[in-house]
Structure 1
Amino acid sequence: MLSSLSLPFVVGAFVLAGLVIAGLGVRMTALADRLADRTGLGEAVVGGVLLGLATSLSGTVVSVTAALDGRASLAFANAVGGIAAQTAFLALADLLFRRINMEHAAAEIASLVQTALLALLLSVTLVAATGPEVAVWGVHPASLVLVIVYVLGTRTASRVRQAPMWHPERTLETREDEPEEDQAPPGSGGGTGPLIGQFMVLALVLGVAGWVISKTGGRLSDLLGISETAIGALLTAVTTSLPELVTTLAAVRRGALQLAIGGIIGGNTFDVLFLTASDVAYRDGSLYHAVGTADLFWLAIGAAMSMVLLLGLVVRERQGIAGIGFESVGVLGLYGLAIAVQVMR
C-alpha cells in the first residue's frame, strides 16, 4: 500500500511514525529507571539490555523489512548508521550536562564491558563482510556468532557489576547508581510485572512505527533517486534512533547518568543484531556480501566512534574543550566527517 503513495503522503507517513517513536521515549526512560531500582540490576545493565533492546525495536523492524524487500544496503546502513547516530547523541547529552564531563561522573565497569563488546561485534561483522562469501541456507555463519557473542557479553556485563575485579576511582563528581525506590510491598499492586507489561506495550508500538519507517524510507529512495545507503544511514537510522536521543536526554535530566550511557551503548550492541535478523530475512545470499563500500564505511565510522568513547570512559577526563571530554569532541568530529563524506558521494 505504501509503495503506491505519492511523495507528500510518503513524507507525511514517515514524519508521523517518527513522532510516535520519539514520543514514547520519555515514558520508556521512566519505566526503565524504575525497573533498574526494583530488580536491583542497576542502571547500566538495565539501560544496556532492556532499554537498549526496546528502543531499538523500531530499527530492527526497519532493517528486517528492508531485507525482506531485497534492499540490502538500506537494511545494513540503517543498522550501522544507527550506531553512529546514537553515539553522537551521547556526546550531545554531554554538552547539556554542564557540571562535568558525563563519562567521568557516570563511571561504571558494566559500561566499559558493553562498549568493548560492541567493538567485538563490529569486528565480527567486518570479518564477515570482507571474508569469503559463505552461506548456509542463505545465512552467513557470522550471524549466529553475533548472537552468541552478544549473549555471552551481556551476561559478562551483569556478572562484573555484581562482582567487579576493580573499581573506578571515586571523586567528588562521581555519580553513584542509587535506587530511588524500593521494591513494592506484597499486595500493593505496584510490583515489577505491571511495569514490564507497560514497557512491552510501548515496545510493540515502536515496532509498528518501525515498519512504517522502513516502507516509507524505501519509497523515498525510489522517488527521490537517493541511494539506499544515504537513506538508511542518515534518515531511517536517525529517525529510529530518536528514542535513544529522547531517553538519553531525559535520563540525564533525571540524574540517571549510568542509565543514559548504558542505554546508548546497549542500544548500539543490540543494533548489531539487526544484521543477524536482516541476514536471515535477506533471501538472495549473504547480506554482508550484498552491500558496498559506502555501507562498510559507516561500519568503520561506528567502530571508530565506539573506541573513542571507550577511551573516554577509561580516562575519565573531568573537562576538556567546551566543558566536555575529548571523547565527545572526537565522536562529534567523526560523525560530522561521516556526514560530509556521505553528502559528497
Structure 2
Amino acid sequence: MVYIIFLVAAIVVVGAAIKLNEFGDVISRKSALSGAAVGTFLIAGATSLPELTTSLTAVYIDNPDIAVGNMIGSNVFNLLILAIVDIIYRRRRLFQRVGYQEHKPAAIMGLVFMIIIIGALALPQSIEWFGVGIEMFVLALLYIIMIKFFSNKGEEETTDEDLPVKNYKLKTAVTGFIVMALVVFGAGSALSISGDQLAQVSGLDSSFVGSFLIAASTSLPELVTVLAAFKVANYGMAIGSILGSNIFNMQLLVLTDILYRDQAILSAAGNSHIFIGLLGVFMTLVTIYLLWRPAISNQWRYIAPSMIVSLVYVVFSYIIF
C-alpha cells in the first residue's frame, strides 16, 4: 500500500509543479517581478513545502538526523538537478543565458548559509538562546537582509527568446499559483511520509536516508519546475527556483530548530552531516563559477564543470552508502 501512495503522490506532485511553474511564468512576465525574483522566492517557497512537511514529521517522531539531513541533502540534490539539466540541454548554454549579477546574491547567500551550518555542526557544543542554536538567528537575519536587497533591485534576466505568455490574467495566475502550492503541500506531505516509511523498511541509517533518499523525493517539485521553466525558455526562473529553494530550506531548518525543544537541533544531529554540507559547498562554488565565467563556444568544455559535479555526487553517495 505504501508503494502505491508514494507513486500516486509523486504523480500529483509532478502535475502540480508543472502548473505551478506555468503560473509563476505568467506572474514573472505580467508583473514587475523578474523571473529570478519569482523563482527565488515564490516558486522556491512553494516547491520547498515537501521538505517542511518531512522535517516537521521528523521532529514529531524525534529523529533530528532525518530533519537536518533532509534539508542539507535537498540543497545538494537541487544543485545536482541544475548540473544534470545543464548537461542534457548543453546546446542551450543555461548559465550563459542569465545575468550573473542577478543570481549572485542568492548563490552567495546559499554558500554562506551552508558554511554557517557546517560550522555549527563542527562545534562540540552549540551556543543556544531559548533552546535554539545561535546560528539559526544569524540565518534568519541574513535572509531578511537578502529580501530587502531583492526588493530594491529590478533587473531583468537575459534570455534570447521571447516566448508567448499563457493566456491568463495576472489575478488568475496568482490564484492558481496559491492553489497549486497547496496541492504540492498535500501531495508532497504524502510523498515524504510514505518515503520515510519505505526508508524504515530498508533499515538504512537515518542520516543517509534523510540526506539522499528522502531529500531526492522531496526535491521532485524542483526538478519538474526547472524542466518546465526550460520549456518556456524562462532560464532565470529555472536557476532562481533552485538557488531560492536552497536558501528557503535553510529557513525551514530555522523553524525546525524552534519546534525541536529538546536542544539545538544541530547539536542533536550526527556529525556525518558535515560531509554532506561540504559537498554542498563544493557544488555551490561550481555553480557560482558557472554563472560568473565568460561564454564558451565548445560544448564539451562548457559542460565539464557540470559533469564533474554530477560525478562527485555519485561517488560521494556511493561512499556514504
Tell me if TM exceeds 0.5.
yes
Note if contact 1:320-1:326 (Cα within 8 Å) is conserved in structure 2: no
Q: Aligned with 1:99: secondary structure?
A: helix
Q: Aligned with 2:62: secondary structure?
A: coil
Q: Aligned with 1:83: secondary structure?
A: helix
Note if contact 2:87-2:303 (Cα within 8 Å) is conserved in structure 1: no
Q: Compute the displacement of 1:274 (Å).
A: 2.3
Of 193, 202, 207, 1:215 maps to 193
2:223 partner letter: L
Of 230, 233, 256, 2:234 maps to 256
Q: Compute the displacement of 1:157 (Å).
A: 3.6
TM superposition outliers: structure 1 runs of 4+ over 6 Å: none
Query: 1:4 is matched with which residue?
Result: none
Query: 1:225 is matched with which residue?
Result: 203
Say whether residues 1:105 and 2:106 are aligned partners: no
Q: Compute the displacement of 1:207 (Å).
A: 1.6
Number of paired residues? 320
Say whether residues 1:43 and 2:35 are aligned partners: yes
Across the aligned residues of Structure 1 and Structure 2, the Cα RMSD in angstroms comes to 2.4
Structure 1 unpaired stretches of 5+:
1-8, 169-173, 185-189
Cα distance in structure 2, aligned partners of 1:237 and 1:273:
16
Q: Compute the displacement of 1:80 (Å).
A: 0.8
1:47 partner letter: G
Cα distance in structure 2, aligned partners of 1:334 and 1:252:
25
Note if contact 1:114-1:157 (Cα within 8 Å) is conserved in structure 2: no
Say whether residues 1:155 and 2:155 are aligned partners: no
Spell out the pairing of 1:320-331 with structure 2 (5 A cutoff).
322=300, 324-331=302-309
Note if contact 1:177-1:258 (Cα within 8 Å) is conserved in structure 2: no
Note if contact 1:309-1:331 (Cα within 8 Å) is conserved in structure 2: no
Q: Compute the displacement of 1:153 (Å).
A: 1.5
Say whether residues 1:75 and 2:67 are aligned partners: yes
**Compared CA separation, residues 192 and 242, structure 1 to 2 (3 A):** same
Query: 1:195 is matched with which residue?
Result: 173
Of 256, 263, 285, 1:307 maps to 285
Q: Compute the displacement of 1:323 (Å).
A: 6.2
Note if contact 2:86-2:306 (Cα within 8 Å) is conserved in structure 1: yes
Cα distance in structure 2, aligned partners of 1:93 and 1:221:
27
Cα distance in structure 2, aligned partners of 1:324 and 1:249:
20
Cα distance in structure 1, aligned partners of 2:17 and 2:140:
26
Cα distance in structure 1, aligned partners of 2:45 and 2:69:
19
Query: 2:314 is matched with which residue?
Result: 336
Note if contact 1:321-1:329 (Cα within 8 Å) is conserved in structure 2: no
**Compared CA separation, residues 218 and 99, structure 1 to 2 (3 A):** closer
Note if contact 2:49-2:185 (Cα within 8 Å) is conserved in structure 1: yes
Query: 2:58 is matched with which residue?
Result: 66
**Compared CA separation, residues 50 and 176, structure 1 to 2 (3 A):** farther
Note if contact 1:111-1:262 (Cα within 8 Å) is conserved in structure 2: yes
**Compared CA separation, residues 323 and 33, structure 1 to 2 (3 A):** farther
Note if contact 2:104-2:288 (Cα within 8 Å) is conserved in structure 1: yes
Note if contact 2:111-2:281 (Cα within 8 Å) is conserved in structure 1: yes
Q: Compute the displacement of 1:108 (Å).
A: 4.1
Query: 2:273 is matched with which residue?
Result: 295
Note if contact 1:85-1:238 (Cα within 8 Å) is conserved in structure 2: yes
Note if contact 2:90-2:299 (Cα within 8 Å) is conserved in structure 1: no
Q: Compute the displacement of 1:44 (Å).
A: 0.9
Note if contact 2:286-2:305 (Cα within 8 Å) is conserved in structure 1: yes
Residues 277-313 of structure 1: CA deviation (Å, up to 9, x unaligned): 2112222211111111222211111121011100111
Cα distance in structure 2, aligned partners of 1:177 and 1:302:
32
TM-score for both structures, normalised by structure 2: 0.91
Q: Compute the displacement of 1:276 (Å).
A: 0.8
Note if contact 1:55-1:203 (Cα within 8 Å) is conserved in structure 2: yes
